[in-house]
């Protein structure tokens, strides 16, 4: 994208103009995979129009990479849900294909989680239940999406993790980045053999063994995130190397032969073995101090066999919302903003330091004030 940049009279960096909207560079964003990701300010004749994330492939992008971006766009344009980031503009025919996505101003869930770990206290059970319920609602919309002829598309996100879930400055929960999406569209770009899409550390065992992803694979990923939020334990993290069990069956054959697009902390075959051995006892032990209703949700989501999990994302959502209703106290966007603020403040106090982050933290999180009635 750097080749397309020019300096504006105001001293800013103009990237491009599309449909009368000017995009200027704010900062580059970290990311994995081919191409660049930048944060841009949108300018229309009426003034600034908010921020956007621009994903741009290099001019040397392979045909498969261009087709993959086109598939992501086709899927994302069909999605219309308040908890899913929107596509704002697409240009796949340009020398450097790009897609412009809604930027969810706030923090990635992984940023909130890191601060909670720093203060040695997890987020509240209600925060975890609310966030995961909203994510499940978004996934239900994606999983039940149909094409123009009414045919189910069988979408699977494949990259559900704390890095693709964001909490906005207004307390909204948004599922982002459908770049690893699996679909049964007739023109879909097939994943190369032995390549793993998405965040390997949150993947279901059937995905890690190269089986066909399904909607309930995303629910397994949500279960891993739920446990991590409530306990700061990653249930698929490997034990001490001295106690790592020998690989068995299919995972022994896959050792050293799986290629994660996003990287992983260990060989994916070893993570897959851990996922395939995950038992109810393992989950119960980790969640011993978590309330029974949320323990039950995690236990069901993390069943090794997909048929043992919630039948749909809506079922998982409804269980979590039933738990929230049973607490007898409202929990929504306002409470989310308050809790993120508290996590940021207490994390800084725990270290006796001023909060710093490479990611901008909105003042709504830094300076939260209760609404007076």
Q: Which tens digit of pLDDT belongs to each residue from 231-256? A: 999 999 866 555 566 676 678 888 87
List, in sequence order, the alpha helices (H) in the chain.
Answer: 63-78, 109-118, 125-143, 205-208, 215-231, 249-254, 268-277, 280-286, 292-301, 313-326, 333-351, 363-366
Structural domains of the chain sorted by starting position, each given as residue range(s) with its CATH number in brackets:
11-102 (3.30.200.20), 106-326 (1.10.510.10)
Q: CA 104 to CA 125: how far, in whole Å?
A: 24
Answer yes or no: are the C-beta atoms of 316 and 310 closer than 8 Å. Answer: yes
Confidence class for position 19, pLDDT limits 50, 70, 90:
confident
Q: What average pLDDT does this structure show over 140-155?
A: 90
> Contact at 8 Å (CB) between 324 and 131?
no
Whether the pLDDT of residue 316 is over 60: the answer is yes
CA angle 112, 313, 291 (to 5 degrees): 55
The three-point CA angle 80-85-91 to 5° equals 90
pLDDT score recorded for residue 188: 58
In the predicted model, what is the mean pLDDT of residues 88-117? 87
CB atoms within 10 A of CB 166: 24
SS3 158: coil
Q: Which residues pair with 51 in a beta bridge?
A: 41
Q: What is the mean pLDDT of residues 210-223?
A: 95
Distance (Å, whole) CA 242 – CA 256: 19
When pLDDT is cut at 50, 70 and 90, the band that residue 5 belongs to is: low
DSSP state of 243: G
pLDDT higher than 50, residue 3: no
pTM: 0.88
Strand order in the sheet with 98-102: 6-7, 13-18, 21-28, 36-44, 47-56, 98-102, 87-91
Give the number of other Cβ atoms within 10 Å of residue 195's Cβ.
12
Contacts of 22 (CB under 8 A, 6+ apart): 14, 16, 42, 43, 44
Residue 4 has pLDDT above 70, yes or no: no
Average pLDDT over residues 66-89: 82
Say if CB 179 and CB 155 are below 8 A apart: no
pLDDT score at 328 = 94
Minimal CA–CA distance to 139: which of 161, 124, 107, 168?
A: 161
Contacts of 315 (CB under 8 A, 6+ apart): none
Beta-carbon count within 10 A of 67 CB = 16
- pLDDT above 90 for 44: no
Classify 54 as helix, strand or coil.
Answer: strand
CB 209 within 8 A of CB 272: yes
């Amino acid at each position: 994208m750097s080749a397309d940049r020019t300096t504006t009279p105001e001293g800013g960096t103009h990237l491009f103009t599309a449909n009368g909207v000017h995009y200027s560079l704010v900062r580059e964003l970290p990311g994995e995979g081919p191409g660049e990701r930048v944060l841009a300010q949108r300018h229309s004749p009426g003034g600034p129009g908010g921020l956007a994330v621009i994903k741009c492939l290099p001019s040397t992008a392979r045909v498969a990479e261009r087709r993959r971006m086109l598939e992501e766009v086709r899927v994302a344009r069909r999605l219309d849900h308040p908890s899913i980031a929107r596509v704002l503009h697409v240009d796949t025919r340009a020398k450097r294909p790009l897609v412009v996505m809604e930027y969810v101003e706030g923090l990635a869930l992984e940023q909130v989680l890191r601060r909670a770990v720093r203060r040695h206290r997890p987020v509240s059970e209600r925060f975890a239940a609310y966030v995961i319920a909203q994510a499940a609602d978004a996934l239900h919309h994606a999983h039940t999406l149909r094409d123009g002829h009414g045919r189910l598309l069988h979408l699977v996100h494949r990259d559900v993790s704390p890095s693709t879930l964001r909490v906005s400055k207004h307390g909204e929960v948004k599922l982002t980045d459908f770049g690893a999406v699996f679909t049964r569209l007739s023109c879909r770009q097939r994943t190369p053999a032995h390549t793993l899409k998405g965040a390997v550390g949150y993947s279901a065992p059937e995905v890690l063994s190269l089986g066909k992803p399904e909607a309930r694979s995303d629910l397994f990923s949500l279960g891993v995130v739920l446990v991590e939020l409530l306990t700061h334990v990653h249930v698929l993290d490997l034990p001490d190397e001295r106690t790592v069990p020998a690989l068995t069956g299919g995972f022994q054959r896959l050792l050293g032969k799986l290629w994660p697009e996003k990287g992983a902390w260990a060989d994916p075959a070893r993570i897959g073995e851990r996922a395939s051995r995950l038992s109810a006892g393992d989950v119960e032990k980790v969640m011993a101090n978590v309330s029974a209703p949320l323990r039950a949700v995690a236990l069901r989501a993390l069943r090794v066999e997909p048929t043992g999990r919630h039948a749909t994302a809506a079922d998982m959502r409804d269980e979590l919302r039933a738990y929230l209703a049973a607490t007898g106290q409202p929990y929504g966007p306002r409470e989310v903003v308050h809790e993120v603020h508290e996590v940021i403040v207490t994390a800084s106090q725990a270290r006796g330091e001023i909060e710093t982050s490479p990611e901008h933290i909105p003042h709504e999180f830094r300076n939260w004030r209760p609404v007076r009635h």
